[in-house]
Amino acid sequence: MLRKNLLHIFHQKQICNNSCVIKYPWGWKNLVNCNFIKNIKKPSISNLNEEQFMKDTLEPYNIIYKSYLNKIDFLDYQYTNPSLSIALNTLRGKLSDDNIINLPDKIKVKEISIIKNITKNDYFTCNNKFLGYFNKNEIMHEFTAGFIGPEIQHLWDLKPTKQIITVSYKSEDFFDIIDWERNLSVDEPSWQVSNINYIVKN
């Protein structure tokens, strides 16, 4: 309970004002006519098997969807980062089971497209990290850099880096835009979701 309370303190963000759980119990917005997607040039991504990446995202995408339908606490697992986990819990908490009874059991994706790829210096937040920010190695780095001081510049320059790939999914029932992110500061980083249909305001 303490861990979840701390995550709420440090990671709760405003949910987009245009979202509507009653009209759109899943998806929360109508994104079918997003004009900006039509004008985006598909990015090239090095060191990534794009076809395999898109295939591998289908199962966790459906797990997140089913977890939402079943009212599972997203802070209990690692598919979504803390801010999105809190937002999904909040949105689902506004719905009764009657609101979602007509939603399909599974999202049947017909078309996937990568629409954006960015890399930036930022913390990779995760539900199982201390305060959502730090694992043991990161705590040690912050402590060491702070203790030694700026005279050892290379320690200060080791900033966390993450990659964010934005993917659009068209299915029989939905059109969703999902931000997948991974921590590039570690070996063999795993992916998690940081936003769905821009419901979390950054």
Q: Is residue 202 part of a domain?
A: no
Report residue 76: phi and psi, to 5°: -90, -10
Q: Is residue 160 part of a domain?
A: yes
Q: Is residue 100 part of a domain?
A: yes
pLDDT(180) > 80: yes
Q: Is residue 201 part of a domain?
A: no
Domain count, the chain: 1
Decide: 79 and 63 in contact? Cβ < 8 Å. Answer: yes
* Of 38-42, 121-125, 128-132, the least confident: 38-42
Q: Is residue 34 part of a domain?
A: yes
| pTM, entire model | 0.87
47-103 residue pLDDT tens: 789 999 999 999 999 999 999 999 999 999 989 999 999 999 999 999 999 999 999
What is the spatial distance between Cα 137 and Cα 143, in angstroms, rounded to a whole number?
10
Strands (DSSP E) along the chain, which ranges?
A: 109-121, 161-171, 175-183, 191-196
Q: Is residue 97 part of a domain?
A: yes
Q: Could you list the residue range(s) of the whole structural domain that residue 68 is in?
A: 2-196
What is the spatial distance between Cα 61 and Cα 39, in angstroms, rounded to a whole number?
25
What is the spatial distance between Cα 134 and Cα 126, in angstroms, rounded to a whole number?
8
